Amino acid sequence: MPDETPDIRQLAEAVRDLASRVARIEEALRNGRPINAPRVLAPRADAPSLESRIGSQWLNRIGIIAVLIGISYFLKYAFENNFIGPAGRIWLGLGLGIGLVVWSEWFRPRYAVFSFSLKAVGLGTLYLSLWAAFQLYQLIDSTVAFAGMATVTLATILLAIWQDAEILGTFALVGGFATPLLISVRHEIPLFVYIALLDFAAFALVVYRPWRRLLLLALLGTAVVFFAWYPRYHTRDMEITTAFASLFFAVFAFVPVAQRRFYPDFPWRSPLPFVVALLNAAIYFLEIDLVLYSDNDKAGTALFIAIAYLLLTWLLRGTGDGTLQAFVRLHAALVIVFVAVAIALRFEALWITIGWFIEFLVVLAIGFWRESPFLRWGAMALIAATTIKVFAYDVWRLDRGYRIVVFIGLGVLCLAVSFLYQNDLMRIAEGRKNQSL
């Protein structure tokens, strides 16, 4: 029909399409095959239109922001003209902070991100109000301000657990570690008990939730508070400071063991736990180096760290998880490093070289015994450091007799190890199949 209109042609195509679908359905029914329902191209009922998004979401958020800005301008105007006194300002800030936290719950079912943003503003208002009451207006003493901020932190941690929200855990730790910096806590025991409680809270959150970033945040927060407090308020009571620093170290070092015990399916793919393990050992040693003055005491600390990681290596042994095995190897490397550091701090000159020779032999023997290429590579790194020390330091510092003894001993040792490798080459190749300790 050459004279048919476009509407008639579209109708004819729709009829042919419908007839084709009916024919396919009849054939499927005759052959006993399931009927595949045709795709419906109509708009989804749950997909809001642009008009709906503007009216129900965008205007809502613009209105909230406008109200908050208006309130802030009103408060600024009231403060500048002394309409509201210091006590009224603090109570107004506390009420506003609590109100924002409570109000944010109304948005959480549908607008989770916006709800958490309101909570962040509310929590920040609470912290700043308590700080202003203490620091600016002297309405409360440091004990009350500290207790108030600690209460806000505890409430935020409980809220994070209840709502399973990592972002709230982050708010809690940031506010918690900022509290002693805002209040300038002088007394060591209350301060470090509080920091230990925060670390244990982070420990619990990370063990039972895959919130790896909180672990790094807690470690860095602990280090910042310690190094900010020490030069200003530390006394000569080294035992208490050393004990707390050791407690902080133990909390973070024990996380992989606890997660293996309580959360065996923890996702370890992130590099953050390994970064935390390395930073934890380095920060602890720097803290002890700051507190202790004797090289013998520092050597004892390095040996303590090595023993601690040896214990952790033993507790994580036998697991088939590849990432936890990487933790085992990392701990073994830290054992080698801190034993070498302890030898370097405890002895002098030639005896350091001899001590590293002995450590090299022990690590290499364990590597052969456990068929661990990682340990054997660790031994090779140690003998490389020892050789560099011999040529860069010992050759210029020792008398001729000692120099001869060192070079002959090093040469004989290298030849013996070379012979051991050549004699046991086949067993080493088989040992590469087993990468665990």
Please state, in angstroms and rounded to a whole number, the distance separating the CA atoms of residues 126 and 154: 13
What confidence tens digit (pLDDT) does each residue in 116-152 have?
Answer: 777 777 787 788 788 777 777 778 887 888 888 888 8
- Using the predicted structure, report yes or no on whether residue 81 has a pLDDT greater than 50: yes
Segment 261-280 mean pLDDT: 75
175, 357, 358, 390 from 409: Cα distances, Å: 58, 9, 12, 11
Please state, in angstroms and rounded to a whole number, the distance separating the CA atoms of residues 382 and 376: 10
Binning pLDDT at 50, 70 and 90, where does residue 288 land? confident
Please state, in angstroms and rounded to a whole number, the distance separating the CA atoms of residues 289 and 283: 10
pLDDT for res 435: 47
Upper half-sphere CA count for residue 280 (Cβ side, 13 Å): 30
Angle at 73 (CA atoms; ends 71, 79), nearest 5 degrees: 100
- Using the predicted structure, report yes or no on whether residue 427 has a pLDDT greater than 70: no
Q: Which residue has the tokens 């050992």?
A: 281
Radius of gyration over every alpha carbon of the chain, rounded to an integer in angstroms = 33
Binning pLDDT at 50, 70 and 90, where does residue 284 land? very high
Binning pLDDT at 50, 70 and 90, where does residue 340 land? confident
- Using the predicted structure, report yes or no on whether residue 436 has a pLDDT greater than 60: no
Do residues 172 and 221 make contact, with C-beta atoms less than 8 angstroms apart? no
Q: Report the percentage of the chain scoring pLDDT > 70.
A: 70
Residue 267 phi/psi, 5° resolution?
Answer: -75, 110
Q: Report the percentage of the chain scoring pLDDT > 90.
A: 5
What is the pTM for the complete model shown?
Answer: 0.66
pLDDT for res 379: 79
Q: No. of H helices and E strands in the chain?
A: 19, 0
Q: Which of 136-140, 190-194, 420-424 has the highest mean pLDDT?
A: 190-194
Candidates 167, 147, 148, 152; CA nearest to 209 is 167
Rounded (10°) CA dihedral 346, 350, 354, 357: 110
The encoded tokens of residue 299 equal: 């050597």
pLDDT for res 422: 63
Who wins on pLDDT, 305 or 271?
A: 305
Please state, in angstroms and rounded to a whole number, the distance separating the CA atoms of residues 186 and 172: 22
Please state, in angstroms and rounded to a whole number, the distance separating the CA atoms of residues 365 and 371: 10
Angle at 262 (CA atoms; ends 261, 265), nearest 5 degrees: 90
Candidates 350, 245, 252, 219; CA nearest to 297 is 245
Segment 47-62 mean pLDDT: 63
Segment 252-269 mean pLDDT: 73
Please state, in angstroms and rounded to a whole number, the distance separating the CA atoms of residues 381 and 78: 68
- Using the predicted structure, report yes or no on whether residue 303 has a pLDDT greater than 50: yes
- Using the predicted structure, report yes or no on whether residue 223 has a pLDDT greater than 90: yes
pLDDT for res 283: 92
Do residues 143 and 194 make contact, with C-beta atoms less than 8 angstroms apart? no
Binning pLDDT at 50, 70 and 90, where does residue 321 land? low
